[in-house]
């Protein structure tokens, strides 16, 4: 195609003109997608190896999910929780069963699920544990990413995310991720929860040392503290099991879910916990106009059913091995480390070669979309519908970029 006939450059400029610059997207303008592939306004195809930060675990426009959305659009889209609708019960029952918990509380974005978890833990602390009013604390990890609200950025250790957004919400203690001794030290009689990602996604797909999550579970049980697992990015099949915690045989007191729960169609998040925890909320104490709406429930129920088959978890485990093996072969050839679980990988580039951003731009030119983080790290999280051939293709493109 003749360069000056491309629509992309003008479309990129257009997209920037009337928006706050709170993102620095790759210069690709996507207009359609199917499965693991997206197509831009100039008809060029790209293998999507970010999958909406795991919001697209089932690929773009999974036929079952699209059919559920279409059918629901023709019947009922919103009621608010002032009334009950006919999609609500199935969603809550089936998601609770998938989580092995009594109850769920639906919200919309991941950050809202995290906020919900924090509120529930504090209320549980005052009403069940007996913490004196206003004294509750929650222990979190360095390098965390739980969202963007003022409370959540209050305990971020990433200055870009946090600086100049104070005054900050008190009541959080930050300890090094993976350090059980530091966690034990930080917990006191006013601690109501430990809030952790079982694998830190935004930090670069950082997997904690073996035994850490069971250790956190043990400490929380011994000290009467809730273990809240933020599985918003790591959960729902991404790591080869339904939840990343499962891989270490750990069951938290509360799951925070989001992203893939909405099937890449609508924002759906949820908190799942047993009655002794989520049961502390009474009418009027928490809610959301859109949380648990009929369209969201119709799509998310099908997401839960797809996961209940186990097929996507198996694909992630099996294909993940192929992806990891292929990328490990590039250590010493431009990569210094490869880590992760299932179809979720953090790649550390040799920083003398190029930045993560530069590598993602070159990958884009080769038809693969990925996202950098923290300087010289790239994250790959392709849809779980990706095939073996497509994985080999992605690895070959990474190798070609590294080879210059």
Ligand X SMILES: Cc1ncc(COP(=O)(O)O)c(C=O)c1O
Q: In what order do the strands lie in the sheet with 226-230?
A: 103-107, 269-273, 254-257, 226-230, 191-196, 137-141, 172-175
Name which of 85 and 379 has its Cβ closer to ligand X. 379
Single out the segment in contact with ligand X by CB under 6 A; choices: 230-238, 243-251, 295-303, 333-341: 230-238
Under a CB-based contact definition with an 8 Å cutoff, are residues 370 and 379 in contact?
yes
Question: Smallest gap, in angstroms, from Cβ of residue 376 to ligand X?
Answer: 20
Single out the segment in contact with ligand X by CB under 6 A; choices: 4-12, 225-233, 279-287, 325-333: 225-233
Residues written for the chain? 404
Name which of 95 and 114 has its Cβ closer to ligand X. 114
Question: Smallest gap, in angstroms, from Cβ of residue 236 to ligand X?
Answer: 12
- Residue 90: active-site member: no
Positions 274 through 333 that interact with ligand X (CB under 6 A) = none
DSSP state of 75: T
The catalytically annotated residue of 48, 230, 348, 372 is 230
Per-residue interface string for the shown chain with ligand X, residues 50-89, x marking contact by CB under 6 A: ---x------------------------------------
Q: Which of 114, 131, 153, 303 binds ligand X (CB under 6 A)?
A: 114
The catalytically annotated residue of 259, 290, 312, 372 is 259
Question: Smallest gap, in angstroms, from Cβ of residue 31 to ligand X?
Answer: 23
The catalytically annotated residue of 58, 88, 91, 145 is 145
Residue 74 burial (CB < 10 Å; 0-12/13-18/19+)?
exposed
- Residue 371: active-site member: no
194 three-state secondary structure: strand
Single out the segment in contact with ligand X by CB under 6 A; choices: 16-24, 108-116, 211-219, 273-281: 108-116
Q: How far apart are CA 58 and CA 236, in angstroms?
A: 10
Q: Report which secondary-structure segment, H or E, holds 336.
A: strand 335-340
Question: Smallest gap, in angstroms, from Cβ of residue 114 to ligand X?
Answer: 6
Residue 202 within binding range of ligand X, rule CB under 6 A:
yes
Residue 264 within binding range of ligand X, rule CB under 6 A:
no
Give 116's Cβ-side CA count (13 Å radius): 30
Question: Smallest gap, in angstroms, from Cβ of residue 189 to ligand X?
Answer: 28
Question: Smallest gap, in angstroms, from Cβ of residue 110 to ligand X?
Answer: 2
Return the structure tokens found at 228: 């809240």
Return the structure tokens found at 204: 């670069």
Q: Which of 37, 58, 88, 145 binds ligand X (CB under 6 A)?
A: 145
Distance, C-alpha 95 to centroid of its chain: 17
Phi-psi region of 369 (alpha: psi -120 to 50; beta: other; left: phi over 0): beta
Position closest to ligand X via CB:
110
Q: Which of 123, 146, 324, 371 binds ligand X (CB under 6 A)?
A: 146
DSSP class per residue in 273-321: E-HHHHTT--TTSS--SSTT-HHHHHHHHHHHHHHHT-HHHHHHHHHHH
Per-residue interface string for the shown chain with ligand X, residues 233-252, x marking contact by CB under 6 A: x-------------------
Q: How far apart are CA 388 and CA 319, in angstroms?
A: 7
Name which of 52 and 171 has its Cβ closer to ligand X. 52
Name which of 254 and 401 has its Cβ closer to ligand X. 254
Residue 208 within binding range of ligand X, rule CB under 6 A:
no
Question: Smallest gap, in angstroms, from Cβ of residue 50 to ligand X?
Answer: 11
DSSP state of 1: -
- Residue 145: active-site member: yes
Which residues neighbour 199 within 8 Å (Cβ) at sequence distance 6 or greater? 205, 206, 207, 208, 234, 239, 244, 340, 341, 344
Single out the segment in contact with ligand X by CB under 6 A; choices: 3-11, 31-39, 229-237, 337-345: 229-237
Q: How far apart are CA 6 and CA 273, in angstroms?
A: 51
Peptide bond into 167 cis (omega under 30): yes
Q: 103 - beta bridge partners?
A: 273
Contact set with ligand X (CB under 6 A):
53, 109-111, 114, 145-147, 197, 201-202, 230, 232-233, 258
Active-site residue set:
145, 230, 259
């Amino acid at each position: 195609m003749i360069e000056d006939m491309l629509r992309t450059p003008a479309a990129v400029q257009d997209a920037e003109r009337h928006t706050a610059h709170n993102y620095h997207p790759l210069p690709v303008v996507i207009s359609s997608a199917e499965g693991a592939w997206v197509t831009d306004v100039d008809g060029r195809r790209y293998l999507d190896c970010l999958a909406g930060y795991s919001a697209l675990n089932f690929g773009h426009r999974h036929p079952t999910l699209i059919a559920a959305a279409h059918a629901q659009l023709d019947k009922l889209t919103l009621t608010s929780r002032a009334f009950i609708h006919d999609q609500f019960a199935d969603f809550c029952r089936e998601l609770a069963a998938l989580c092995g918990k009594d109850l769920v509380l639906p919200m919309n974005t991941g950050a809202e699920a995290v906020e919900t978890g924090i509120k529930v833990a504090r209320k549980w602390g005052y009403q069940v544990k007996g913490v004196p009013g206003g004294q509750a604390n929650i222990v979190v990890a360095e390098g965390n990413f739980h969202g963007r609200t003022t409370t959540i950025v209050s305990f971020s250790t990433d200055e870009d995310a946090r600086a100049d957004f104070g005054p900050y919400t008190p009541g959080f203690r930050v300890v090094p991720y993976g350090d059980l001794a530091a966690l034990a030290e930080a917990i006191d009689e006013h601690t109501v929860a430990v809030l952790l990602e079982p694998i830190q996604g935004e930090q670069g797909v950082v997997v904690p040392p073996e035994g850490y999550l069971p250790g956190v579970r043990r400490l929380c049980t011994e000290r009467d503290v809730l273990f809240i697992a933020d599985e918003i990015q790591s959960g729902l099949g991404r790591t080869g099991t339904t939840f990343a915690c499962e891989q270490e045989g750990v069951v938290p007191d509360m799951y925070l879910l989001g992203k893939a729960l909405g099937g890449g169609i609508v924002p759906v998040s949820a908190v799942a916990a047993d009655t002794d925890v989520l049961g502390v909320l009474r009418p009027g104490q928490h809610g959301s106009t859109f949380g648990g709406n009929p369209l969201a429930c119709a799509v998310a129920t099908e997401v839960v059913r797809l996961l209940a088959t186990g097929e996507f978890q198996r694909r992630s485990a099996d294909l993940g091995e192929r992806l990891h093996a292929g990328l490990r072969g590039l250590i010493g050839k431009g990569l210094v480390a490869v880590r992760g679980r299932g179809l979720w990988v953090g790649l550390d580039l040799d920083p003398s070669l190029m930045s993560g951003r530069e590598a993602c731009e070159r990958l884009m030119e080769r038809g693969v979309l990925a996202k950098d983080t923290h300087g010289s790290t790239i994250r790959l999280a392709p849809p779980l519908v990706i095939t073996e051939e497509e994985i080999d293709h992605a690895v070959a493109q990474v190798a070609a970029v590294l080879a210059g």
